[in-house]
C-alpha cells in the first residue's frame, strides 16, 4: 500500500471514527436532553401540584372566612331585627293592656296568680288603668288588697304579706320570658323566606 493510500485509508477511518463518535455524542446529547426535558417536566408538575395545593388551601381558607363573615353579618342583622320586633312589641304593651281582650281575661289571671300565695295579706299591685277590672275580679275575695303603683308598667304583680313579689303578671315580664322563643320563631320564619 502506498503512503497516499494509507493516508487516505487513515483519513477515511478517522472520518468514520469521528462520525461514529459524533453520532454517539449526538445520541447521548439527545438522551440527556430528553432526560432533562422529562426531569424538568416532572419538576414542573411537582411545583404546579404544590402551588395548586397551596393556592387551594388559601382559597378554602378565604372562602371559609368569607362564609363566616357573611353568616356573622346575617346573624347580626337577624339579631337586630329580633331586637326591633321585641322593642316594637314592648311599645304596644300599654295599648294591649287596655284592650278588651286582655282586660276580659285579667280576672282569671289574677285568680290563678293568687293560687301561689296565701290570700291573707296578699296585695295585687297594678296600674291605674287596670284597677277597676282587678277590683271587679276580686270582689269575692275581700282579704286581697289592690294597690295602684304608677311605675309598675302593664299587668300586675302579686305580693305576699312580707313584701316579696311572688307572682309577676306584667306583660313586659312575659315578653322577656318569651324573648328567646320569639327570637327562634323569627329566625325560623326568616330562614323559610330566604
- Looking at residues 89-95, what average pLDDT do you find? 91
DSSP assignment string, 94-119: HHHHHSHHHHHHHHHHHHHHHTTS-S
Tens of pLDDT, residue by residue over 50-60, are 888 889 889 99
**pLDDT value at residue 69:** 94
Phi-psi region of 126 (alpha: psi -120 to 50; beta: other; left: phi over 0): beta
**pLDDT value at residue 70:** 92
Percent of the chain with pLDDT over 70: 98
* Local confidence band at 3 (pLDDT 50, 70, 90 cut-offs): low
Alpha carbon distance 185, 82 (integer Å):
10
Tens of pLDDT, residue by residue over 9-52, are 778 887 888 888 888 888 887 888 888 888 888 888 888 888 88
CA neighbor of 156 nearest in space, from 104, 113, 92: 113
- Say which residue the cell 472520518 belongs to: 15
**Kind and range of the H or E run holding 123:** strand 123-126
| DSSP-based three-state secondary structure for 122 | coil
Domains and CATH numbers, the chain: 96-193 (3.30.2320.30)
Alpha carbon distance 87, 113 (integer Å):
26
Alpha carbon distance 82, 182 (integer Å):
8
Alpha carbon distance 43, 51 (integer Å):
12
DSSP assignment letter at 167: E
Amino acid at each position: 500500500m502506498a503512503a497516499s493510500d494509507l493516508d487516505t485509508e487513515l483519513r477515511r477511518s478517522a472520518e468514520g471514527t469521528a462520525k461514529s463518535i459524533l453520532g454517539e455524542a449526538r445520541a447521548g446529547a439527545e438522551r440527556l436532553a430528553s432526560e432533562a426535558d422529562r426531569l424538568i417536566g416532572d419538576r414542573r408538575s411537582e411545583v404546579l401540584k404544590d402551588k395548586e395545593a397551596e393556592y387551594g388551601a388559601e382559597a378554602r381558607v378565604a372562602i371559609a372566612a368569607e362564609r363566616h363573615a357573611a353568616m356573622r353579618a346575617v346573624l347580626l342583622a337577624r339579631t337586630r331585627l329580633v331586637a326591633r320586633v321585641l322593642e316594637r312589641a314592648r311599645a304596644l304593651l300599654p295599648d294591649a293592656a287596655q284592650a278588651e281582650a286582655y282586660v276580659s281575661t285579667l280576672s282569671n289571671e289574677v285568680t290563678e296568680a293568687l293560687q301561689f300565695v296565701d290570700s291573707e295579706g296578699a296585695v295585687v299591685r297594678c296600674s291605674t288603668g287596670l284597677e277597676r277590672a282587678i277590683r271587679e275580679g276580686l270582689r269575692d275575695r275581700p282579704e286581697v288588697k289592690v294597690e295602684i303603683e304608677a311605675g309598675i308598667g302593664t299587668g300586675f304583680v302579686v305580693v305576699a304579706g312580707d313584701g316579696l313579689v311572688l307572682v309577676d303578671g306584667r306583660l313586659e315580664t312575659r315578653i322577656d320570658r318569651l324573648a328567646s322563643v320569639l327570637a327562634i320563631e323569627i329566625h325560623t320564619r326568616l330562614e323559610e323566606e330566604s
